[in-house]
Amino acid sequence: MHQAAPRTPKYLADYALPDHLIEEVELDFKLDPTATRVAAKLRLRPNPKVAPGGRPLVLHGENLTLLSLALDRKPLEAEDYDLRETTLTIPEVPGRPFTLDIVTVCNPEANAALSGLYRSSGTYCTQCEPEGFRRITYFIDRPDALAVYTVRIEADRDEAPVLLSNGNPMEQADVPGTNRHYAVWHDPFPKPSYLFALVGGNLASVSDSFTTASGRKVALNIYVEPGKQDCCDWAMKSVKRSMRWDEERFGREYDLDVFNIVAVSDFNMGAMENKGLNVFNDKLILARPDTASDADYASIDGVIAHEYFHNWTGDRVTCRDWFQLCLKEGLTVFRDQEYTSDTRTGPVNRIASVRMLKTHQFPEDAGPLAHPVRPASFIEINNFYTATVYEKGAELCRMLQTLLGREGFRKALDLYFERHDGEAVTVEDFVEAMADVSGRDLSQFMRWYTQSGTPELACSLDYDPHTKTAHLRVSQVVAPTPDQNKKEPMHIPLKLGLLGANGDDLPLVLEDGTALEDGLLEVTEREHVFTFRDIPSPPTPSLLRDFSAPVRLTTSLDADQIEFLMMHDSDPFNRWQAAQTYATNLLTAAAQPDGDAASGKEAVRLAKALGTTASEEALHPAYRAEFLKLPSESDIARELARDVDPDAVWQAGETLRATVGRTARPTLTDLYTSLAPSGPFSPDPEEAGRRALRNAALDLLVATGDASEIERAFTHYREASNMTDAITALSILSHLDAPHRDEALQHFYTRWENEPLVLDKWFAVQARAARNDSVETVQALLSHPKFSLKNPNRVRAVIASFAQANPTGFNRADGGGYDFLASAALEIDRFNPHLAARLLGAFESWRILEPKRQASAQATLQRLATQELSTDSYEIVNKTLGRA
Ligand code: BES
Ligand code: ZN
């Protein structure tokens, strides 16, 4: 089913206020699998901010059957309105308040796009962000149209005993003389349509309550498929932890009588912040020690926090238009990162966030899909829920906090909420609150929102023994991106330290006597020289501490200095970064056509340093584990930036891992043995950290290729008492050609074939395995009886895992990986464009590959471009080719 969809860009510069306002909405749903009837009563009025004069009323609508339409109760005839594929226009409406009654029918069962009202395992549910509400009724479906909603839902009592919508429950009763019942919900907070939600189904629930700081009692419910109630404890704890944290850290209280969460198994994204009724992909709710890994527990905690935090950053204060998406997403990611740092292990979380940024956002910013944190145009908004908007957007909030200080940032956020509660606003409104509270001029900082591309920051340090001064030379440049040629210098907070000969931080005093208490410099020009005085001996600079800005840093440090930082830096992030930099330098050299294998003297030296750090008892085990995770294939490809041969990158990594494994073997073996689990399982950061360290040690031991270590991995699998250990061992074995591999995979399948979320792990492990036959493997997995293209989690487990996490397989020299992805995405594109377009994002870095693979990826993309594509996929394919 292909829609003749518009392919022309929309521009931020074209923003215009809505001609009409919707003040109140009453919705009446009669749920039915194939013909759900929706009666909408809208109270509208002309927008007083728009010049008067009979403007037509234009409503959005898609895939709807219109049954009737009445204005001020008077039925309209076909000639009174203009019904098109995606709009309903009433040319003549009153210049005063009026009502519109619209009755439509939609088909939830046939909705495989999972946008609007659809069914997931029999449960009726909705996804309206960004433009799904128009698939439920005709509406002014844009985020600056805020209305108060009352929703009545009627359904078969057996089919849908649970009926939920936003806000507070008002009424629930049977419809006398029928097998049907209904519920009424009212949400007192005006909201845009994208935050609307409805759920109806046969669901079980787990309940608890939370008393807010001001003493209001809130009912908490998590709704899941019956039988899954024992998998909700962790999620419920996260809800309460998030609610408390937002009160303590940002003074934000919850505002309704109930907070409901529903877990569904078919969901395009992770989760959605609908007011008072968050809907989640069930993989981000359900957890039990035997089914969920530590990584799962951590993402459940983070995503619950994220969606909950949207209640203020997104729901109470929302976006004027979709160009402002970072206003809610970047800020809310920043808030969930801060939550995780405060409630788990700060530095480890910072490392994880930066890894994420560099793995996903840096390539985006360096490739054909580069766009600013606030894009100036888009064809399909669904394609702009990107790493740039989210991850870089969060970094911009972090930089503001760094520049204003934690207290100043908190005050500025308070002012932002005070000024804009109940409004739909812009990035300017947000930054203005920051500027007003701090008295700072943030006009240059605004470039972070409007300029795409990752700034390159080059730093070098000279020491003058006569004057005892150190000169730090800093220069910045933003290379042109396909969307923007000319770039202006940025306002960059640069945190640093200077380490003295014994590794301690030296006091930082500038030439003019200013002491840098917080070690913060501000780079605003293209070039700066900062002079530090009273430096007794040549210092080692630790630059960009805590990753204080989303830039690429280049320095003139040699291997000795990097090793020195690796051993001594007081900034935990930079200490880890030093180890990564050291390894990256070895790996990029080794992955060049005539490079030296990463097994020489330098590799041995790295191995020793890593072994030392990994066994430093004073450090958190989770932090130590990060040192043992060597740079990934995508890290190396990104650093190489051109002529990348994924096989050479993989080989370099294997060689280095083997060298580290062999050199540090005694230490790693000790760690493996001493960290064996003792008590019962707990998902807390302490225990999870021990498992992470032990599993990272195991991974390097197996990398030696030694038969006894492979045996160790197999034993690890067999004796695993939790999913973290089981899936780690399975993943390690999956790359090998040992009989243990097949045995473990078979065992895992037999044990978990009826647990969809665990079975996804089985699919994903195989799709990620770096083996010669991986294209054939994923192709075969598509024909597995348990595979379905209709379930996004399953699709991601196989297709996205392969395309995004199996570089040698996806980039196989004969182009087989590219063809596989293209044809799978094309098939999915016919019914779920959003999902298909996301999968096609895997092509974004094709231009950094060596010529042969480039040609083959390009040919595949060109072939795709000749096909009939959804708007979503059209935009990705053409922009990736450099056309749109
Ligand atoms: N508002 C989004 C969900 C969303 C994304 C709806 C795209 C429609 C289109 C939600 O708040 C979100 O950002 N979810 C993330 C997880 C989050 C922790 C970053 C997701 O779903 O991946
Ligand atoms: Zn979000």
Cβ 271 under 6 angstroms from ligand 1: yes
Helix axes 685-703, 621-628, angle to 10 degrees: 20
486: buried, middle or exposed (CB in 10 Å: 19+, 13-18, 0-12)?
exposed
Residues of 66-104 as b/e, b for ≥16 C-beta within 10 angstroms? beebebeeeeeeeeebeeeebebebeebeeeebebbbbb
Query: How far does residue 860's CA lie from ligand 1's centre (Å)?
Result: 30
For 448, what's the count of Cα atoms within 13 Å in the CB-facing half-sphere?
A: 28
Cβ 392 under 6 angstroms from ligand 1: no
Query: How far does residue 414's CA lie from ligand 1's centre (Å)?
Result: 24
Q: Rounded distance, CA 395 to CA 488, Å?
A: 19
Which CA distances in Å does 225 have to 126, 231, 781?
Answer: 16, 10, 27
515: buried, middle or exposed (CB in 10 Å: 19+, 13-18, 0-12)?
exposed
CB 620 within 8 A of CB 684: no
- The pair of structure tokens assigned to 644 is 């990348």
Give the residue, out of 193, 269, 322, 835, with the most ligand 1 atoms within 8 A of its beta carbon, to mutate for a pocket test.
Answer: 269
Cβ 270 under 6 angstroms from ligand 1: yes
> Which residue's entry shows tokens 């998406």?
325
Query: How far does residue 128's CA lie from ligand 1's centre (Å)?
Result: 12
DSSP secondary structure string for all residues of 449-518? HH--SPPEEEEEEEEETTTTEEEEEEEEE---BTTBS--PPP-EEEEEEEE-TTSPBPP-BBTTS-B-TT
Per DSSP bridges, beta strands 198-201 and 162-165 are antiparallel
Radius of gyration for the chain, computed over Cα atoms and rounded to the nearest angstrom: 28
Query: How far does residue 269's CA lie from ligand 1's centre (Å)?
Result: 6
Nearest to 637 by CA among 628, 625, 647: 647
Nearest to 238 by CA among 621, 683, 666: 683
Q: Rounded distance, CA 738 to CA 727, Å?
A: 17
CB 270 within 8 A of CB 281: yes
Examine the residue annotation and report whether 307 is marked as an active-site residue of this protein: yes
Q: Nearest ligand, CA of residue 340?
A: 1
Write the single-letter amino acid at 238.
S
- The pair of structure tokens assigned to 730 is 């399975």
Angle at 86 between CA 191 and CA 862, to 5 degrees: 110
Cβ 656 under 6 angstroms from ligand 1: no
| Dihedral angle computed from the Cα positions of residues 436, 438, 440 and 441, in that order, rounded to the nearest 10 degrees | -30
In this structure, the residue with its CA closest to atom 10 of ligand 1 is 272
User: Can you point out the beta strands (E) in 353-477?
Assistant: 377-378, 424-425, 456-464, 469-477
Q: Rounded distance, CA 137 to CA 822, Å?
A: 34
CB 830 within 8 A of CB 875: no
Report which ligand 1 atom has the smallest distance to the Cα of 271. Answer: 21
Please, what are the averages of pLDDT over each run of 10 residues along the chain (884 residues)?
Answer: 66 97 98 98 95 88 98 97 98 96 98 98 98 98 98 98 98 98 98 98 98 98 98 98 98 98 98 99 98 98 98 98 98 98 94 98 98 98 98 99 98 98 98 98 98 98 98 98 96 98 98 95 98 98 98 96 97 98 97 81 96 97 98 98 98 97 98 95 96 98 98 98 98 95 98 98 98 97 98 98 98 98 98 98 98 98 98 98 92
Give the residue, out of 329, 349, 392, with the most ligand 1 atoms within 8 A of its beta carbon, to mutate for a pocket test.
Answer: 329
Regarding pTM above 0.95, the answer is: yes
193: buried, middle or exposed (CB in 10 Å: 19+, 13-18, 0-12)?
buried
Give the residue, out of 307, 337, 349, with the most ligand 1 atoms within 8 A of its beta carbon, to mutate for a pocket test.
Answer: 307
Give the single-character DSSP code of 178: S
In this structure, the residue with its CA closest to atom 20 of ligand 1 is 270
Among residues 307, 338, 563, 875, the one annotated as catalytic is 307
Cβ 333 under 6 angstroms from ligand 1: yes
Q: Nearest ligand, CA of residue 302?
A: 1
Report which ligand 1 atom has the smallest distance to the Cα of 129. Answer: 8
Three-class secondary structure of residue 676 per DSSP: coil
Cβ 122 under 6 angstroms from ligand 1: no
Helix (H) or strand (E) holding 170: strand 168-174
Give backbone dihedrals phi and psi of 67, rounded to 5 degrees, phi first: -95, -45
Cβ 306 under 6 angstroms from ligand 1: yes
- The pair of structure tokens assigned to 556 is 């003139």
| Strand ranges of the sheet holding 162-165, from the earlier edge strand across to the other edge | 116-120, 123-127, 198-201, 162-165
> Which residue's entry shows tokens 């045996």?
711
Angle at 700 between CA 698 and CA 703, to 5 degrees: 110
CB 203 within 8 A of CB 211: no
> Which residue's entry shows tokens 């990060």?
626
Q: In sequence order, which residues have a C-beta less than 8 Å from that of residue 471 and are 6 or more positions away?
A: 461, 462, 463, 464, 529, 530, 531, 532
Q: Rounded distance, CA 210 to CA 261, Å?
A: 14
Q: Rounded distance, CA 136 to CA 65, Å?
A: 10
pLDDT of residue 51: 81
Three-class secondary structure of residue 162 per DSSP: strand
| Cis amide bond preceding 130, omega within 30 | yes
Which residues on adjacent β-strands are paired with residue 68? 103
Q: Rounded distance, CA 846 to CA 642, Å?
A: 10
CB 637 within 8 A of CB 646: yes
Which CA distances in Å does 785 have to 83, 533, 766, 779, 788?
Answer: 43, 70, 16, 13, 8
3-state secondary structure 738-750: CHHHHHHHHHHHH
Which residues on adjacent β-strands are paired with residue 184? 152, 171
Taking the CB of residue 719, how many other CB atoms lie within 10 A of it?
Answer: 12
DSSP secondary structure string for all residues of 558-620? -HHHHHHHHHH-SSHHHHHHHHHHHHHHHHHHHTSTTPPPTTSHHHHHHHHHHHHHHT-TTS-
CB 186 within 8 A of CB 198: no
Cβ 307 under 6 angstroms from ligand 1: yes
Cβ 849 under 6 angstroms from ligand 1: no
Report which ligand 1 atom has the smallest distance to the Cα of 303. Answer: 18
How long, in residues, is the chain? 884
Query: How far does residue 331's CA lie from ligand 2's centre (Å)?
Result: 9
pLDDT of residue 180: 98
> Which residue's entry shows tokens 């939609």?
106
Query: Within the chain, how many helices (H) and strands (E) appear?
Result: 29, 31
Per DSSP bridges, beta strands 258-264 and 277-281 are parallel
Write the single-letter amino acid at 824.
A
In this structure, the residue with its CA closest to atom 3 of ligand 1 is 272
CB 642 within 8 A of CB 367: no
Which CA distances in Å does 575 have to 495, 541, 620?
Answer: 14, 12, 14
